Amino acid sequence: MYHYAYILVCRFHLMPPKQRGDQVQIYEMINYLNNIRDLVNLSDKRIKERTSPRKRGPGRPPTDPADIAKTLLLQTYPESSNRLAEGFLLLFQEKLGISSSFSYKTIERGYDRDRVNEIPDEIIAITNESVEDEEETFSFDGTGFSASNKENYADKRQKQNFKKKNKKVKSAISVGGSSR
């Protein structure tokens, strides 16, 4: 009994490296799906709170924009086509909390719907709120350096030259001081 429990608890450490990598990818996908579901639900809720409900016109009721946004975000993870995203929708529908399935054409039309496009913008706002007052340096790629390579290269080169000059001055002082 105890050996069985030990194997279950320490199973990850007993696996060969390739299987450990596979397990990491599985957990990465689980976390990605959970993040999609939670962030889209939160952003959809915030959007609905600040906007007035739209009157429904004639015809078929529209597909929930949050469901389409979840599918579009799911589609970006494996970089799949709309038809393949329809299959992923069927696979992960319950995990993502999507109320009903829809066709690849609905996924395709989702790119042009304003209500669907508001959701990623709101997700970015939500993720920025957590670090709102903590960031001081901004850049397009997250490094903190400016967008110009010339400025970066020039700054780095100038710092290197300054350090070299300081080193030479310090060594000259120490040599000059000891030559008496």
Residue 122 lies in a domain: yes
Separation of alpha carbons 33 and 141, rounded Å: 25
What is the domain range of residue 78?
37-50+62-130
179: tokens are 């030559």
Give the global pTM. 0.63
Model confidence at 127, pLDDT cuts 50, 70, 90, reads: confident
Number of structural domains the chain divides into:
1
Residue 111 lies in a domain: yes
DSSP reduced 3-state for 101: coil
pLDDT digits (tens, 9 = 90+) for 12-68: 444 455 566 778 888 898 999 999 999 999 999 999 999 988 788 888 888 899 999
Residue 82 lies in a domain: yes
Separation of alpha carbons 97 and 36, rounded Å: 10
Separation of alpha carbons 8 and 51, rounded Å: 49
Residue 179 lies in a domain: no
Q: For residues 40 and 123, is the Cβ–Cβ distance under 8 A?
A: yes
Residue 101 lies in a domain: yes
Residue 112 lies in a domain: yes
Using the structure block, give the residue that is written with the tokens 């038809």.
83
Residue 155 lies in a domain: no
Q: For residues 94 and 35, is the Cβ–Cβ distance under 8 A?
A: no
Residue 168 lies in a domain: no
